[in-house]
Amino acid sequence: MHTFAEFIIVFIILINLALSVTGSLSACIKLVALQGVVAGVLPLMAGHGGPQGRAVAFAAVIILLKGAVFPWLMMRARDSSGASKDVEPLISYPASIMLCLGAFIASSWMGTRLPLPEAGVAWIVPASLATIFTGFLLITTRRKAITQVLGYLVIENGIYIFGLALFVEQPMMVELAILLDVFVAVFVMGIAIFHISREFDHIDTAELSELSDWRRGEYGK
Amino acid sequence: MEIVKPLFQILAAALLAPLLPGVVNRVKAVFAGRKGPPLEQLYYDLIKLLRKAPVYSRTSTWVFKAGPIAGFAALMTALAMLPFAGRPAALAFEGDFIFLVYLLGLARFGTVLAALDTGSAFEGMGASREMQFAVFAEPAFFLGLAALARITGEGSLAGMFGALTGETWRTAAPVLALLTASFFIVLLAENSRVPADDPNTHLELTMIHEAMVLDHSGPELAYILYGASLKLWLFGAVIGSMVLPRHSGSWASDSGMFLLVMFGVAAGVGVVESVLARLRLTKVPYLLITAFAFSALGLIFQMAR
């Protein structure tokens, strides 16, 4: 069972790498959804003994939200914003993948230094930290507002996996509260992206540095 | 008998290596609905080329003649320490996988120098591309071997693959799967197979390995073709030993299984080549960086365990 959990951890890290090199926005959304689903399956594997009914119900809620509702919202935001279908990174893809690898190396070093209870599955702490780093990477090095929401979701996945490393059994209230927060945030961001693109005809964050666009003509843009 | 067996293994590798490109071509032919050349086509080609008189351009020097022979000699030396069905190799010492990587580098260096010596623009271009991709492929292969040494706790190539058993796969399956994937990508790139290079193309602008050997003829071309098949055998043997960890103890059945897996790997290359299109030249480094990332991940996983 633990080998299977280790496979899932490796898979999550591979998704991180794929996220850092994927050029297509819809593929990015699908990868984030896949990562959420895979991370949702993880507690069923890592627990001792057979999975209990509560854990199964909880996993089902997470998989439904991260695998179906979020991608649907994101796809809707992508379509309605009318932006191009590429992620438009600020740094090259090889640099992204190298940063992602470096993040994993740093987080495996950090994982050994953190005073944490012994996790049942190997690499779960480094994997969660690396996932959080990947989320930051998506937020900082991608040009569109929608990829920043995606990065936020990846960070949430990382925090979720980190929680799994800390507690054998998830405190349900805490996790549900985080999930609700994320749900509201994605909802609000979806609407915000839609409004931004309607106001300014684009969702390019580099162009959103001024409060209003009345001076645009002076810069010849 | 125990001393003779490693020599038999080298002999088998040296004799059977030209079959692998035949298997690849046959699988491709089947996918394309053709009959395809016979399996032993490369043997015919080699015999034909060895009987021909070479033609040299007036601008080329002794470097042009020495390159193919240096490459051939380096690859023959590499055969001596290659894993063969988890059996002891003829040549094994601590850290010989570093020696293997350098032998491959030496073979590449010889080919590249010979290509540059012709003074042809095409060959210089091919040589430049070959070196560019090697920069990415070599660390991937090297880190993968280092991770394998870390898993098995052995320092020699034959020792590593000898210590790799079904038990290792049960405990370290994710890492071994990552390494196998990385080695397979390196195999495709190093042997100028489809996602990185197309061995069939005759457009000099897109070729890599083929562009470098355009001016070679006669026995020297035979050395290069044979060296290429040895290289395919070398990487195939690494992958075959990875995925076939079970050692029954009987030499004959182990060797038979190993040869079957080798042809399986060649068939896998043929399938990949039939279903994939060649990558754009600028995208090839991405593929190799992916292989590097797989190897590096495997190594980090093993260190952090």
- The ranges assigned to domains in chain B are 4-304
DSSP calls for chain A: -HHHHHHHHHHHHHHHHHHHH--BHHHHHHHHHHHHHHHHHHHHHHSSSSPPHHHHHHHHHHHHIIIIIHHHHHHHHHHHHT--SB--BSS-HHHHHHHHHHHHHHHHHHHHHS--PPPSSTTHHHHHHHHHHHHHHHHHHB-BHHHHHHHHHHHHHHHHHHHHHH-SS--HHHHHHHHHHHHHHHHHHHHHHHHHHHHHS--BGGGTTSS-GGGGGGGT-
Rounded Cα–Cα distance for residues A190 and A180 (Å): 15
Which residues 254-293 on chain B approach chain A with CB closer than 8 angstroms?
285-286, 289-290, 293
Chain B residues in contact with A10 by the CB 8 A cut-off are 174, 177-178, 297, 301
* Average pLDDT taken over every residue of chain A: 77
What single letter denotes the amino acid at residue A27? A
Question: What's the confidence (pLDDT) of residue A220?
Answer: 47
- Binary contact (A101, B290; C-beta < 8 A): no
Tens-place pLDDT, residues B96-135: 899 999 999 999 999 999 999 988 888 888 899 889 999 9
pLDDT: which is higher, A188 or B105: B105
Chain A residues in contact with B301 by the CB 8 A cut-off are 10, 122-123
pLDDT: which is higher, A166 or B31: B31
Residue of B nearest to A127 (CA): B301
Tens-place pLDDT, residues B43-60: 999 999 999 998 898 888
Interface A–B counts its CB contacts (< 8 A) at 49
Question: What's the confidence (pLDDT) of residue A221?
Answer: 43
B103 neighbors B112 (Cβ within 8 angstroms): no
Q: Pull the structure tokens for residue A219.
A: 């810069």
Chain A residues in contact with B174 by the CB 8 A cut-off are 3, 6-7, 9-10
Question: What's the confidence (pLDDT) of residue A131?
Answer: 92
- Binary contact (A10, B170; C-beta < 8 A): no
Tens-place pLDDT, residues B226-240: 999 999 999 999 998
B36 neighbors B26 (Cβ within 8 angstroms): yes
Choose the weakest-confidence range: A14-28, A153-167, B95-109.
Answer: A153-167
Tell me the ipTM for this assembly: 0.76
- Binary contact (A122, B170; C-beta < 8 A): no
End-to-end CA distance of chain B: 41
DSSP calls for B141-199: HHHHHHHHHHHHT--SHHHHHHH--HHHHHHHHHHHHHHHHHHHHHHHHHTT-TTT--T
Which residue in B286, B293, B305 is closest to A101 by CB distance?
B293
Measured in whole angstroms, the distance separating CA B109 from the mean position of its chain's CA atoms is: 15
Query: Confidence band (pLDDT; 50, 70, 90) for A113?
Result: confident
* Average pLDDT taken over every residue of chain B: 87
Question: What's the confidence (pLDDT) of residue A167?
Answer: 66
Give the residue from B284, B300, B303, B305 with the most A CB atoms within 10 Å of its CB, the best one to mutate. Answer: B300
What single letter denotes the amino acid at residue B97? F
Chain A residues in contact with B139 by the CB 8 A cut-off are none
- Binary contact (A17, B304; C-beta < 8 A): no
- Binary contact (A6, B296; C-beta < 8 A): no
Give the residue from A7, A9, A14 with the most B CB atoms within 10 Å of its CB, the best one to mutate. Answer: A14
The answer to whether B173 faces chain A, any CB pair under 8 Å, is yes
Rounded Cα–Cα distance for residues B183 and A20 (Å): 22
pLDDT: which is higher, B2 or A105: A105
Question: What's the confidence (pLDDT) of residue A169?
Answer: 56
Rounded Cα–Cα distance for residues B6 and A138 (Å): 52
- A173 pLDDT exceeds 70? no
Rounded Cα–Cα distance for residues A77 and A81 (Å): 6
- Binary contact (B297, A104; C-beta < 8 A): yes
